[in-house]
Amino acid sequence: MLHSIDQAKKTIGQVIIGKDEIIELLFTALLSDGHVLLESVPGSGKTKLAKSFAKIMNGQFSRVQFTPDVLPSDVTGIQFFNPKTQEFELREGPVMTNVLLADEVNRATPKTQSSLLEVMEEKQTTVDGETLHMTPPFFVIATQNPVEGNHGTFPLPEAQLDRFLFKLNMGYPSMKEEKDILNAYRLEEPLQALRASLEMEEVLQLREEVKKITVAEDTVNYLLDLVRLTRNHPDIELGVSTRGALVFMRAVQARALLKERSYVTPNDVKVLVPYVFGHRIVLSMEGSLRKTTEQVVAEIIEQVPVPVEAGENS
């Protein structure tokens, strides 16, 4: 089954050039039963990456383009009156899918954001008293642009950011990568050539395999030491929650599986810290004047000793 994942990563890499690490993290989140928030400047390929990821999976895909006038019912669904049958009928919203692209999620109002994030957490939604359950796997890729300030946007509060396993920044490509992009897209659109190669049943089976990955006590202690330091750091006002620690552990298990190992190494933990912690910690007023979140996370990684594990191979 990992062969299908490897093939999918290579195929997406032909469309999204130079972002192999981001693609790997997307698959890590998928197998962890987590969700991803992509944040980067406009035009960096966030939406194209999400579309490519969805197209490679042989499942249902939906997209919601968020704006301030999008209502919760536009996301979750609505009961409407059918004049022909003289009865109310359920019209399911775009959340009833396998892969959901929530484009520019910070443009939606807090009420609409909450309707989506509730589905992400509970894997179900209620429309006029009727409970609808998501068909697994249910995976959300949300995007937002960081450069728009508060003009027409509603930043996600910390409690809602915690619903995302990873927050990833696409960033600008290198000179060589950008040249490769121009050459690849000069004559055709690579996205159009993508074909589904990953079955939903394979994803569900791999998620079960993830749970079987061994996490040694020393590695658990290392993970918890990192988490607990965020709660006692002088520059941090709000640290990583217990829910954050739980999804962190599942993510390192998924990374180990993707590396074709039956056990987690401390390096698996160390590599994922920036993507798990970055959007979960809130700096104090004094701390934010002196340092960035990235600098504080780097300090935490540096301060916690990495346990030595024989035969470690990341």
pLDDT (tens digit per residue) in 208-242: 999 999 999 999 999 999 999 999 999 999 999 99
pLDDT in tens, 3-32: 889 999 999 998 999 999 999 999 999 999
- pLDDT at site 314: 47
Q: At residue 41, does pLDDT exceed 90? A: no
Under a CB-based contact definition with an 8 Å cutoff, are residues 101 and 47 in contact? yes
Residue 80 is encoded by which pair of tokens? 């409407």
pLDDT value at residue 150: 58
- Model pTM? 0.92
The dihedral over CA atoms of 129, 135, 139, 145, expressed in degrees to the nearest 10, equals -40
> How many Å apart are CA 185 and CA 17, to the nearest integer?
11
Q: Which of 234, 241, 226 is closest to 291 using CA atoms?
A: 234
Nearest CA-CA partner of 109 in 159, 75, 78: 75
Give residue 79's region: left, alpha or beta (phi > 0; psi -120 to 50): beta
Q: What pLDDT sits at residue 170?
A: 86
- How far, in Å, CA of 277 to CA of 10, rounded? 28
Neighbours of 29 (CB within 10 A): 24
Q: How confident is the model at residue 309 (pLDDT cuts 50, 70, 90)?
A: low
Name the more confident of 313 and 271.
271
Preceding omega of 137 cis (within 30 degrees of 0):
yes
Tokens of 153: 């946007």
Nearest to 309 by CA among 271, 270, 267: 267
φ and ψ at residue 38, rounded to 5 degrees:
-100, 125
* Nearest in space to 219 (alpha carbons), one of 300, 310, 309: 309
Other Cβ atoms less than 10 A from the Cβ of 303: the count is: 11
End-to-end CA distance of the chain: 20
